[in-house]
């Protein structure tokens, strides 16, 4: 072997060593340039949970997060996910079952999750990750003073006290949809002394707090429940369909970044109904409201999932 050949081999060997040593840093720099897109529907809760996902990913990975929050309704976000414009967003199991798959509502939350996981995987190549913990379904809500006076904790308790001239106020959708008031009457064998008043959703909470009505329909994580100091009645017959929130993601994205599955599993069960109501309230309150990002960061810091500094 001549001197020139030896020199070429030596240089090649040095280059191999340099690349081997530098590759982790080069990989890190390359990964840092990668990004994923997180979407959200056009209401407060979606912006908060979208920020929770985004900030956790930014803290725990080198990925850059593109936020597309307040994107639109269910089908806007779902179609953007299918089309690759989004990598993930938080969806609700009941919405996936009824609105997207167009199946009948079911009361069994585990069965609903099983169905949407199987169907979304086979039909759309999308994956439901572990639910965050809260169930944003319909509920009945009453004033705190009334709940304390009549010892109301469950919907069955309310049914037993309907002889107290309790007045209900419901929005038009709840009055009409089969899984709203019509089905509720049948499930609990209940009838209010007078027909429930039809009310605008934006007016119901204040009307209940002021005593114009005694009980209203509400979504269990609505921040206005906190704002008006109302009490959620437990659905002790499990009548209302489950709408558990969970990250819905493209399998392609999760396969490309497998660390995301394990990392987002840290959020499993971390947010119950009361915690989500509080976060929504912090953003929607009239006095000194927080931004969705600030509310999300406070939650993640409190849970020890990201650093406080």
Q: Which domains does the chain have, with CATH numbers?
A: 34-135+243-302 (3.40.190.10), 138-233 (3.40.190.120)
DSSP 265-279: GGGTT---HHHHHHH
CA distance 246 to 142: 28
* H-assigned helices in 132-200: 144-150, 155-160, 172-176, 181-188
For the cut 70, the answer to whether the pLDDT of residue 195 exceeds it is yes
Rounded distance between C-alpha atoms, residue 249 and residue 263, angstroms: 14
Sign of CA dihedral 26, 29, 33, 38: positive
Q: What are the pLDDT digits (tens) for 17-52?
A: 555 555 555 444 444 458 999 999 998 999 999 999
Nearest to 67 by CA among 83, 92, 49: 49
What mean pLDDT is predicted for residues 241-263?
96
**What are the tens digits of pLDDT across the range 82-125?**
999 999 999 999 999 988 999 988 989 999 999 999 999 999 99
Q: What is the pTM of this model?
A: 0.81
Distance CA 90, CA 144 (A): 31
Question: What tens digit of pLDDT does each residue of 217-228 get?
Answer: 999 999 999 999
């Amino acid at each position: 072997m001549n001197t020139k050949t030896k020199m070429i081999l030596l240089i090649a060997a040095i280059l191999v060593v340099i690349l081997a040593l530098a590759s982790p840093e080069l990989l890190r720099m390359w990964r840092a340039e990668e990004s994923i897109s997180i979407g959200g529907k056009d209401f407060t809760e979606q912006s908060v949970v979208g920020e929770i996902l985004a900030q956790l990913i930014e803290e725990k990975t080198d990925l850059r997060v593109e936020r597309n929050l307040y994107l639109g309704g269910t089908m806007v976000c779902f179609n953007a996910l299918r089309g690759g414009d989004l990598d993930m967003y938080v969806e609700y199991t009941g919405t996936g079952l009824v609105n997207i798959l167009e199946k009948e509502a079911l009361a069994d939350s585990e069965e609903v999750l099983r169905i949407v996981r199987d169907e979304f995987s086979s039909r759309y190549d999308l994956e439901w990750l572990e639910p965050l913990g809260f169930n944003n379904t319909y509920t009945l809500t009453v004033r705190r003073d009334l709940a304390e006076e009549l010892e109301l904790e469950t919907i069955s308790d309310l049914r037993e006290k309907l002889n107290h001239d309790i007045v209900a106020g419901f929005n038009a959708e709840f009055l009409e949809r089969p899984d709203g008031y019509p089905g509720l009457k049948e499930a609990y064998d209940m009838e209010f002394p007078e027909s429930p008043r039809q009310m605008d959703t934006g007016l119901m909470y204040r009307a209940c707090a002021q005593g114009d009505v005694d009980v209203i329909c509400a979504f269990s994580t609505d921040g206005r429940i906190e704002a008006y100091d109302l009490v959620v009645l437990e659905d002790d017959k499990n009548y209302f369909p489950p709408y558990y929130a969970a990250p819905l993601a493209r399998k392609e994205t999760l396969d490309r970044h497998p660390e995301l599955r394990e990392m987002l599993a840290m959020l499993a069960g971390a947010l119950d109904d009361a915690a989500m109501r509080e976060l929504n309230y912090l953003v929607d309150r009239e006095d000194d409201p927080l931004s969705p990002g600030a509310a999300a960061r406070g939650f993640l810091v409190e849970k020890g999932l990201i650093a406080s500094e």
